[in-house]
Amino acid sequence: MLLWLKLFYFYHQPPMCKRVPMNKPPPFKLLGLDHLGIVPRDMAQARWFFYEVLQLPLAYAEELPREQVSLVMLGSQMLAAPALSPNLELLAPLAPESPLSKFLEKKSGGIHHLAFRVDDIRGAIAYLRAHGVGLLSPEPRAGAHGSEVVFVHPQSTGGILVELVAQQHHPA
């Protein structure tokens, strides 16, 4: 029975991915983990805890009406190793039909996505498509603070929503 499970696990392929050999490097650079997207049940409580209690500095706050999202980006400059630490993005829905509203109904809050910074989002999209990775949009979309973003479909990542972010401008 254990051998059967190991073989099943080894040979099972997710439906959206075609596993092809990685015989050349990708045409983009993965620059690091940019932020963790968190959808709190209570935005005021979360802002109080992370901003007031832990004193993570406010990088910016922004509304993205097209995405039906309000966000607060808290910087990691106060952490011991800020270059190695991602920012925290607190997200709230702006409308009942927002995907974040559905997330809150289903999960009642928590970590929503991981965002990785890349140097070339179009190169990353082409590379992911060539490897059978599903994306939630065919082209990059306008993200927060002048960035371009694309989300990788959770079926391609084992159930984790992943965002790729390019041209992120952080205030000094």
Edge-to-edge strands, sheet with 58-64: 58-64, 69-74, 87-93, 30-39, 110-118, 162-166, 148-152, 141-142
Quote the pLDDT of residue 8. Answer: 44
More confident: 69 or 24: 69
For 148, other C-beta atoms within 10 Å of its C-beta total 17
Name the pLDDT band for 25 (thresholds 50, 70, 90). Answer: confident
pLDDT score of 141: 93
**pLDDT (0 to 100) of residue 13:** 47
Confidence of residue 116 (pLDDT cuts 50, 70, 90): very high
**Could you read off the pLDDT of 129-171 as tens digits, one per residue?**
998 999 999 899 998 888 999 999 999 999 999 999 997 554 4
Quote the Cα angle for 152-143-24, to 5°. Answer: 40
Name the token pair of 162: 């992943």
CATH class of this structure's domain 27-166? alpha beta
Q: What percent of the chain has pLDDT over 70?
A: 79
Residue 130 corresponds to which tokens in the numbers above? 């060539």
The confidence band for 59, taking pLDDT boundaries of 50, 70 and 90, is confident
Quick one: pLDDT at residue 65? Answer: 92
Q: Does the pLDDT at position 33 exceed 70?
A: yes
The reported pTM is 0.76
Q: Are 84 and 115 in contact (CB under 8 A)?
A: no
Please state the φ and ψ torsions of residue 26, each to the nearest 5 degrees: -65, 155
* Mean of per-residue pLDDT scores for the chain: 83
